[in-house]
Amino acid sequence: MTPDAESREDSFRRQFLRTFFHDLATPLSAVSLHLEGASRRFARGEDPSESIEIAKTELARAFELFERGRELLLASPGAVESFSFDEWIEAVLRPYAGDGLAVSGRTEGRVSGDKERLSEALSALVVNAIESSASPTVSVFLERSGERLCARIENRGNLPAEDPEKLFAPRSTAAGKNWGMGLARARLYAAGAGGVVRLGQQGDRVSAVLELPEESA
């Protein structure tokens, strides 16, 4: 990995840690507040069970986030290997063939990295697009950008935040889930291979781009 790629990976890791600890503090603060409320209710001879139950729920959320973050940050990387970008994309997307994916373009290039982690990153972006798409079709474009190879995933819809960077925080998640780590994991795993993950809004379409450096011939 080049010095620039290492610096980018460190930058994304620091950014993730800042949002991770901020999001972790939120339920822990709620635990403290509700336990204080329970204590005051008990002192007044009132039933503190409601406040205690809420505190227990918030504590469980905090532990869940801690475990997810620990798993993500401490997982051992796999072996770095060289592989065809186009064939890899095709293999990762094959299980989603029945979900309305339309793939176009070829790069004829090769990349190198932890293939398993990069597959997780790509899958997270695809699943996110499928789940949030306002239409039954999700488009995947394979492109070149200078000496970098890109998979651009597009779906109809609107980003749920004006600042796309907020969507990489654990607290940004779909309804019914406590925490969302898919986009954060995708960005960190891509950075480990010298790549980047970007989200953007163009008209009525959301785009997620996974960009990796092309392997030198």
Please provide the DSSP assignment of 109-145 as one string: -EEEEEHHHHHHHHHHHHHHHHHH-SSS-EEEEEEEE
Q: What is the pLDDT of residue 99?
A: 85
pTM for this predicted structure = 0.80
What is the overall mean pLDDT for the chain? 88
Domain identity same for 52 and 122: no
For residue 83, how many other CB atoms are within 10 A of its CB?
A: 15
Number of structural domains in the chain: 2
Among 37-41, 96-100, 149-153, where is mean pLDDT lowest? Answer: 96-100
For residue 201, how many other CB atoms are within 10 A of its CB?
A: 14
Domain that holds residue 101: 80-213
Q: Where does a domain end: 51, 74, 97?
A: 74
Burial per residue of 87-101, b for 16 or more beta-carbon CB atoms within 10 angstroms, e otherwise: ebbeebbeebeebeb
Say how far apart CA 13 and CA 22 lie, in whole Å.
Answer: 14
- Which two structure tokens, joined as six digits, stand for 76? 């051992």
Give per-residue pLDDT as tens, 16-75. Answer: 888 888 888 999 999 999 999 999 999 999 999 999 999 999 999 898 888 888 888 888
Domain identity same for 37 and 96: no
Domain identity same for 26 and 65: yes
Say how far apart CA 22 and CA 25 lie, in whole Å.
Answer: 5
Amino acid in the structure at residue 143: E
Domain identity same for 134 and 170: yes
Domain identity same for 93 and 66: no
User: What percent of the chain has pLDDT above 90?
Assistant: 54
Say how far apart CA 115 and CA 195 lie, in whole Å.
Answer: 13
Domain identity same for 84 and 175: yes
